[in-house]
Amino acid sequence: MYASARLEAQGYRADREATSTLTYPADNESWFSTAGVRAGYELRLTTSIYMRAYLDVLKTISQPSLHGGGAPLWQVSPLVGSVGLHLFYTLGHDHGRKPLFD
């Protein structure tokens, strides 16, 4: 798998005299990309309803961070993961697998 995204930070301080490291206004953006693997399992519940679980593990290729006034606002982790569970309904072709429930 490959994923790419853009981080953006914008801010506006009405109080210019405040003790903050943010610039006035704060604005920064950075692109990052990740690559990794996905593992999953699909379970047929009925003849047309399926459940799919998956796990993604992605390594950050570029290590961006957002800064405002020289202070770090956000930094991307070197390893990113996600877990998902999908329930879906399909029409048409029967894939030949026996359903869990009849």
Q: What is the pLDDT of residue 38?
A: 93
Q: What is the pLDDT of residue 11?
A: 62
Q: What is the pLDDT of residue 16?
A: 54
Give the Cα-Cα-Cα angle 51, 90, 93 (nearest 5 degrees).
120
Q: What is the pLDDT of residue 76?
A: 75
- Residue 33's CB is within 10 A of a number of other CB atoms, namely 14
Distance separating alpha carbons of residues 93 and 95, to the nearest angstrom: 6
Nearest to 48 by CA among 3, 88, 83: 88
Distance separating alpha carbons of residues 36 and 63, to the nearest angstrom: 15
Residue pLDDT tens, the chain, 102 long: 898 888 776 665 555 555 555 554 555 677 888 899 999 999 988 888 889 999 999 998 887 777 666 667 677 788 888 999 999 888 766 666 666 665
